[in-house]
Structure 1
Amino acid sequence: MVDLGEVKEQLTHVLDPEIGINVVDLGLIYDISEPRDGQVNIKMTLTTPDCPLHEGFLDAVEGAVAPVNGVEYVKVDVVFDPPWTPDRMNQDVRKQLGIQ
């Protein structure tokens, strides 16, 4: 069994290269689950469907999670429903970016 808390912690090391804030605090991670032993499914979104960094984000998320003890396979699904809004961001991040 994989420690999903550790998976989430590892995802805090995946930064948006434009603003240097991690995907968890940006509210881009919608769900983390382990439907079968060793398989981690991550449901995430991007701030826009046309994000030019789409593939890079997927690779970074997979790369951050793969070393976690017990992880044998990482599946990342990018979804846009519900749509991302700044309200999904961590409150401290919103404040840091001047979004109230």
Structure 2
Amino acid sequence: MSEEDLKEEVIRAIKTVYDPEIPVDVYELGLIYDLKVFPINNVFVSMTLTSPSCPSAGTLPGEVEQKIREVEGVNDVSVELTFDPPYTTEMMSEEAKLELGFM
């Protein structure tokens, strides 16, 4: 599997993780800031939360990591939580904005 194909599979896996308070997956919500696949299929994800005091802070990054580890071909996973830049609703995809009534 090519790095690009693996990246698509990783994105599919991330899209199965939902913020428990919002009916939109974390990818479409714009919480994934960066996603890289390095040689030997190591995956790096930089993500944020809707706020630093998000009640899901203890679970969402771990759930993202777990879903990525389940993707066939992934060797190792590193998920980094950041709040820079701070999350805004402008980071949501068009699909998420429609789902949540922002459009």
TM over 0.5, shorter chain? yes
**Matching residue within 36, 40, 44 for 2:47:** 44
Structure 1 unpaired stretches of 5+: none
Alignment partner of 2:83 out of 69, 72, 80? 80
Identity %: 37
**1:63 aligned partner:** 66
Q: What do the CA deviations read for 1:74-99 (whole angstroms, capped 9, x no partner)?
A: 11001111111101111122122122
One-letter amino acid of the counterpart of residue 102, structure 2: I
Question: Which stretches in structure 2 are left out of the alignment for 5+ residues?
Answer: none
* Structure ranking higher in helix proportion: 2
Amino acid in structure 2 at the alignment position of 1:44: M
Q: Under a length normalisation based on structure 1, what TM-score does the superposition of the two structures give?
A: 0.90
Residue number among 37, 57, 60 corresponding to 1:54 in the alignment: 57
Spell out structure 1 runs of 4+ moving beyond 3 A.
none
SS in 1 for 2:59: helix
What is the aligned partner in structure 2 of residue 32 from structure 1? 35
What one-letter code is carried by the residue in structure 1 that aligns with 2:26?
A: V
Report the alpha carbon displacement of residue 71 of structure 1 after superposing the two structures with TM: 1.1
How many residues are aligned here? Answer: 100
